[in-house]
Amino acid sequence: MMLSQIEIRVKKLDHAGDLPLPQYMTDGAAGMDLLAAVEEEVLLPAGEYALIPTGIAIALPVGFEAQIRPRSGLAAKFGVTVLNAPGTIDQDYRGEIKVLLINHGRDGFQIKRGDRIAQLVVAPVVRSTWLPCTDLEETGRGDGGFGHTGRS
């Protein structure tokens, strides 16, 4: 089965000249790994967060967004994740992509130039139109919210 593909214009910024562009690491990967374009190593202390540059800017086609998602390995091994996950890059944003990392681990986490720090997933966008009404159709769930099924 052939996956859908779109072309995305990408601008490598001056401070990322020696770093490769994001890429899919396997044929079945949904996300491309984003790299840290830090000039010097960054120590992310336990409980702290920092905005990490990637050295790229993109021009998404109309009808698409990009999502910044955590890397499962960083979360599982070190407790490091994306604070505003998933972060959204809107179609009309043209600035540098930066990743807001937080260290939930017990120890400081070192971020080095070229480290894979997050994933970028490109996704279609559907826009909504509100239809004001006075009643909504009934469902079995109704207004059951957080924890309504009794599971943790």
pLDDT in tens, 18-66: 999 999 999 999 999 999 999 999 999 999 999 999 999 999 999 999 9
140 in any annotated domain:
no
Torsion 105-107-112-114 (CA) sign:
negative
139 in any annotated domain:
no
* Total number of domains constituting the chain: 1
pTM: 0.88
72 in any annotated domain:
yes
Which runs of consecutive H residues, i.e. helices, occur in the chain?
Answer: 72-78
Q: Tell me the two tokens of residue 74.
A: 């960083």
97 in any annotated domain:
yes
